[in-house]
A and B are shown apart, each in its own frame.
Chain A
Amino acid sequence: MATLELRNVNKTYGAGLPDTLKDIQLSIKEGEFLILVGPSGCGKSTLMNCIAGLETITGGAIMIGDQDVSGMSPKDRDIAMVFQSYALYPTMSVRENIEFGLKIRKMKQADINEEVARVAKLLQIEHLLNRKPGQLSGGQQQRVAMGRALARRPKIYLFDEPLSNLDAKLRVEMRTEMKLMHQRLKTTTVYVTHDQIEAMTLGDKVAVMKDGIIQQFGTPKDIYNNPANLFVASFIGSPPMNFIPLRLQRKDGRLLALLDSGQARCELPLGMQDAGLEDREVILGLRPEQIVLAGNEPNGLPTIRAEVQVTEPTGPDTLVFVNLNDTKVCCRLAPDVAPQPGETLTLQFDPAKVLLFDAKSGERLGVAAQPQAGDRPANVAQFKGR
């Protein structure tokens, strides 16, 4: 296994064309699982191709271990890749597919057989070794593709949306299996996906990308709790974070956000002391699970009464939509709370968890609120914590 470091990696397809990748900077340790996540066209697949050597970079360096591999061809980088379409060689048997790369590297047949046996056992595909890819199911093909990568024992594993072609149920199963396998084998892995749930559950480190730039690089928890900008905040989390545009006010020396539900008003005091933030057009960010039903005893946290617009019972939660400041806001409440449209609820907020973003640039404003360590007032009803 090896470390991976990307230093100021740039890529353009031609003079005059916009950069596909701009100044990519990140590094992961041996055995770490890095996720590249973002919407289509953000450059994550291009970045992966560059790491693999399938495409060249126009600036910067890619280091595997302490070796600069930027100019090296794919086969010299000691990398294995699992493709979204699996890319199994259709005219060869499963065994021949796994052996292909090993044979090219001129391994001895006895060693090859050993490797194939090891990998087949690991992925439980021993009974499939003599079949052709066309005779396998999607899940089986996926395992064979992984087997082909594992047999090579490379320094780094690359996965390009390997679960996207599977149906939902299989996808969830395979996700857990991948995590298990990573825990066992401790392989340095780079994994591309557009699914933010995969990003959160599988990664040690996550890089959120948009338009060829890394918007934020950190652990899943960081990205979730401390998004660096509006895009990251909106991309990660389901249902997505609520964004309420408003203008900050200063009252009695404190910075306030004024919420209006049509029925009542509420002042949210914000901890930031930055001068110059009043009268700023901002966007308030609040995750659905951070809006709760007010308990019977007041605990000092601001509350507001609001009329229920829509209720969506999902099974594990009930999503309740209200209007605040003319914006549709989603609250994630306990499943046994089942308000009817038109009912009034009293909702409660924790200002410490509120995030502020500049309305124009989307950048996160102010010092991050106190890190959400997960302890909350006891009398607040159901809370979907992270």
Chain B
Amino acid sequence: MTSLAAKPSISLSRIAIYAVLILAVLLYLVPLVVMLLTSFKTPEDISTGNLLSWPTVVSGIGWVKAWGTVNGYFWNSIKITVPAVLISTAIGALNGYVLSMWRFRGSQLFFGLLLFGCFLPFQTVLLPASFTLGKMGLASTTTGLVFVHVVYGLAFTTLFFRNYYVSIPDALVKAARLDGAGFFTIFRRIILPMSTPIIMVCLIWQFTQIWNDFLFGVVFSSGDSQPITVALNNLVNTSTGAKEYNVDMAAAMIAGLPTLLVYVIAGKYFVRGLTAGAVKG
């Protein structure tokens, strides 16, 4: 509810508190500001100036070059993220629905196993997963990545929906069953319309996770099928030729803007996703 402070007054301690908070704001913003500044500089400006110096000439050349290099991978990320988010959310919703309202013997055990899977270090499944993708003919394809992200996103999406649906009184489902509604009718006409908040949370959480992923990208894709995070890393960490920091920073911005925008626009759902995952179900 509200804080524990007595009355906000202009006292030394309050000034100190505001000072610390504002300092923290600056510290959090500095990297972003630096990235932006650097991306709009020319290489000369970069070598002569410093991190926070204003460009003598505001140049978009870094951006043009960056986009030229990574745009294919940007679209890859979209091709990977959008389907994976939608599919994993849909499956998570159905799973959450079953686990909270149609429990049967073994479903609780399954939920426990799933929950444990949220903590799983992916290193333990990388090898077998890549074998399997190879056998399925999906190695190094964006489809393969969609597949992997759906599989390993299931634990979280199911958790989100199940925890949300558990708070819906089951008298509602009973009433619907007495009215004659079946499994899918109840889902479609009663539960789903009530699910907007959690759907938002899930979509945004999954979008952020999948777009930002690097591990799966670098293991399961190569060349043309790589997502933008991998492309960014390749770009930044190549040691051939002179380093073009403006291009590097522009490329980083390109990689980071989508999730940043989503955060700015729909931040509260993002926060709910974080705390929903953190608070024990």
| Chain A residues within CB distance 8 Å of chain B | 49, 52, 54, 73-75, 79-81, 83-92, 100-101, 104-105, 148, 152
Contacts and interface: CB of A to CB of B under 8 A. Distances in A.
A85 B169 contact: yes
B194 A84 contact: no
Contacts of B190: 89, 91
Interface of B: 169, 171-172, 174-181, 185, 189-190, 193-194
Quick one: which of B176, B178, B193 has the most chain A CB within 10 A?
A: B178
A375 B176 CA distance: 52
Contacts of B194: 90-91
A126 to B, nearest CB: 22
Contacts of B181: 75, 100, 104
Given A84-B171, A89-B190, A91-B190, A100 B176 contact: yes
11 contacts: A52-B174, A73-B177, A74-B177, A83-B171, A87-B169, A87-B171, A87-B175, A89-B172, A89-B176, A89-B189, A101-B180
A91 B185 CA distance: 14
Contacts of A88: 175
A292 to B, nearest CB: 47
B222 to A, nearest CB: 47
B174 A81 contact: yes
A198 B89 CA distance: 47
Contacts of A79: 178
Contacts of A152: 179
Nearest to A158: B178
B106 to A, nearest CB: 14
Nearest to B172: A87
B180 A104 contact: yes
A50 to B, nearest CB: 13
Given A90-B194, A104-B185, A75 B180 contact: yes
Nearest to A154: B178
A83 B180 contact: no
Given A54-B174, A74-B174, A83-B175, 5 more contacts: A75-B181, A81-B175, A85-B169, A104-B179, A104-B181
Contacts of B180: 75, 101, 104-105
Contacts of A89: 172, 175-176, 189-190
A228 to B, nearest CB: 32
Contact of B178 (A74, A84, A91): A74
A316 B176 CA distance: 45
A97 to B, nearest CB: 9
Contacts of A73: 177
